[in-house]
Structure formats: C-alpha cells, structure tokens
C-alpha cells in the first residue's frame, strides 16, 4: 500500500482544513440511460475545479512541517499546477510551473492568478517535465513530480468520501493521467477491505498505461495527442504502474469522440461541466454499459477545467481539433 490508515487520517485533517468534501450523486437520467445505478463523484466541485487540489494541500503542508522551505518546480497540463499554486500560497512556498506549448490558456491564467510562476516550454507534458528538471537544477529548487506518495495521500480523501457515502459499489471507473487518482482509489479500497473493482481509463491516443498494463512493464509511446489533456501522458510512472497492475481490474481505452459525447451527456443529464479527462470515466462506463447492467457503479468526474472555445466545440456536437 502507498500509505496506512494513520497516515491517511493525518492527510485528511490537512485537506479538510482547506475544503469541504465534494458530493456524489446518483443522477436518475444517467441511470436510465445506462441501465444501471451510476454514482458521480463530483471532483469538479473542489476549490480549483479538480481533484488534484487535495494532494497539493497535503504535500505542501507536510513540507512546511518538515521545515522544507526551498521552492518547488513541476510540470503539468493544468490541474496539478493549480493544486501546487494554491497550496504553495497557503504555505508561503514559491512555486514554478512548466506547461507545454499550446496548453490551456484558461488553466495557465488560473495558475498565474493563484501565485505560480508559469513557464511555457516543450511540445507535450513529458517534454515540459524534462524542462522542469533542468530548472530545478539551475535554480536549486526541488523537482515535484505529478505522482508522489503524499499527493496520493491527499487525493485519496475523495475515494474515502465515496466509499463512506455509497456502500457495495461493484465497479469504479477513474481516468489515468500519471496515476495518483487510480492508485489512491486502489489503496483506499484495500485499506477498507472492499471488493470493488477499480477500472482505469485512458485515451486511445495516449494509451501508454494500457500498453504497460498489458505488458506488465513500462511501455512508452511517441505521442499523446488528445484534447483530454489530463490523460496526455507518454511515459508511465513505474511506481504507479506497479500499483495499477496489482490492484486494477482492467484499463479501458476511449476515443476523443467518446469523451466529447460523455461531456455532452454530463451537461444534458446532470447540467455539470466536465473537461475531457473529467468525462473519460463516464465514456468508459458507457462503453461497458451491457456488462454493467443492473450493477452499482461509480465514475470519477475528476475536473471541469476546459477552455471555453473547446467546450463550445463539444457542445455543438464536434470534437476539438489539435
């Protein structure tokens, strides 16, 4: 396990000093559409509009408690960076964030507003991460990865909220970026001794984790071109992959058209806005509707941070072009 119950409780106390638990609802229209009970965990209702804030709060506070005052640098497509920016401001720790070229303009603006120094470099997330490592060495900052044990401790609070609120869930669908969300869910499931299946979701255009899961070892890809930018990863994290291989039931791949359709369904059936990665779990649940019929399932709506132009495109019935 990534952490134990005592460590989790310490992390939870930090998270709930800064935010309230998010809701989970079983929307009747979704249940009717999919032929089985579907609970939505609304991580689009956090202070940053995404689940990542939970991990940033825990890690930055624990750094402060250890007397680690040096600034940090990290790479992101947006939600991880917002998490660190907000938490860094709370702990008075300088935060430098590297985003790839063409990153979400609105996420970039949010990170700057939240106090981060923003640097645009690299063609995708993995190249931006390489630039961030170089900046860490040049400036004497600590490189903060998107997958880290303390980040997972904080992120796992949403899993505990879901499992405490809804009993006997057969299957939970969760998107995979670098892995903190799914690994946190697996750890919470195991701590509680539940039989719930955890199903990871990736983009067909960014399927490194699916290939790695099948191979049982890290498999990288040459590209990760999907408008669901929270899943646009080419290089899996080895520690995350080990946890996923041991604890996940399977990994489902969804295309951009499926993700866009799930975003439209979120709006029509729940009137919630979801970003691409945030809708991926629902896209997978729709894909597996025949197998899930009559079962109690849950999907993690991981975030709602999408640029207006892309959302206009999706709502009009199209798929954003890259």
- pLDDT of the residue at 126: 87
Q: H or E element: which one contains 254?
A: strand 250-254
Over residues 59-83, mean pLDDT: 94
Look at residue 145 and tell me whether its pLDDT is greater than 90.
no
The CATH architecture of the domain made up of 53-143 is 3-Layer(aba) Sandwich (3.40)
CA distance 322 to 318: 13
- pLDDT of the residue at 146: 86
Q: Do domains 5-50+149-315 and 53-143 have the same CATH topology?
A: yes
- 5-50+149-315 in CATH: which number? 3.40.50.1100
- pLDDT of the residue at 112: 96
CA distance 36 to 54: 30
**Closest by CA position to 98, among listed 82, 114, 116, 118:** 118
**Closest by CA position to 305, among listed 88, 109, 140:** 109
**Closest by CA position to 270, among listed 10, 14, 45, 9:** 45
**pLDDT per position as a tens digit, 278-299:** 999 999 999 999 999 999 999 9
- Contact criterion met (CB below 8 Å) for 172 and 300: yes
What does pTM read for this prediction?
A: 0.95
Look at residue 322 and tell me whether its pLDDT is greater than 90.
no
Across all residues in the chain, what is the average pLDDT? 96
Q: Domain ranges in the chain? A: 5-50+149-315, 53-143
Q: H or E element: which one contains 292?
A: helix 289-292
For the chain, percent of residues with pLDDT exceeding 70: 100
- pLDDT of the residue at 238: 97
Look at residue 158 and tell me whether its pLDDT is greater than 90.
yes
Look at residue 69 and tell me whether its pLDDT is greater than 90.
no
- Contact criterion met (CB below 8 Å) for 231 and 207: no
Over residues 26-39, mean pLDDT: 95
Give Cα 270 to chain centroid, integer Å. Answer: 20
**pLDDT per position as a tens digit, 221-273:** 998 999 999 999 999 999 999 999 999 999 999 999 999 999 999 999 999 99
Residue 248: burial class (beta carbons within 10 Å; 0-12, 13-18, 19+): buried
CA distance 318 to 311: 10
What confidence category does residue 7 fall into, taking pLDDT thresholds of 50, 70 and 90? very high
């Amino acid at each position: 396990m990534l952490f134990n119950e005592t460590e989790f409780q310490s992390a939870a106390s930090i998270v709930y000093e800064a935010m309230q638990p998010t809701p989970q609802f079983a929307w009747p229209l979704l249940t009717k559409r999919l032929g089985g009970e579907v609970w939505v965990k609304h991580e689009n209702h956090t202070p940053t509009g995404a689940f990542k804030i939970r991990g940033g709060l825990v890690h930055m506070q624990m750094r402060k408690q250890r007397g680690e005052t040096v600034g940090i640098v990290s790479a992101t497509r947006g939600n991880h960076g917002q998490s660190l920016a907000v938490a860094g401001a709370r702990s008075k720790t300088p935060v430098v964030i590297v985003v790839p070229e063409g990153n979400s303009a609105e996420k970039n603006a949010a990170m700057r507003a939240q106090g981060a120094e923003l640097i645009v470099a690299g063609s995708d997330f993995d190249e931006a991460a390489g630039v961030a490592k170089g900046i860490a060495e040049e400036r004497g900052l600590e490189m903060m990865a998107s997958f880290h044990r303390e980040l997972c401790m904080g992120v796992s609070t949403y899993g505990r909220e879901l499992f405490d609120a809804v009993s006997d869930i057969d299957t939970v669908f969760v998107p995979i970026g670098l892995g903190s969300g799914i690994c946190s869910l697996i750890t919470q499931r195991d701590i509680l001794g539940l039989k719930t299946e955890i199903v990871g979701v990736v983009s067909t255009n960014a399927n490194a984790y699916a290939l790695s899961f099948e191979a049982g070892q890290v498999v990288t890809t040459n590209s990760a071109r999907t408008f669901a930018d929270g899943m646009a990863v080419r290089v899996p994290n080895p520690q995350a992959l080990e946890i996923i291989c041991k604890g996940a039931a399977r990994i489902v791949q969804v295309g951009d058209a499926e993700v866009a359709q799930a975003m439209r369904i979120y709006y029509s059936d729940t009137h919630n806005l979801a970003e691409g990665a945030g809708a991926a779990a629902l896209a997978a649940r729709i894909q597996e509707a025949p197998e899930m019929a009559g079962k109690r399932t849950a999907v993690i709506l991981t975030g709602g941070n999408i640029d207006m132009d892309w959302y206009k495109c999706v709502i009009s019935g199209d798929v954003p072009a890259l």
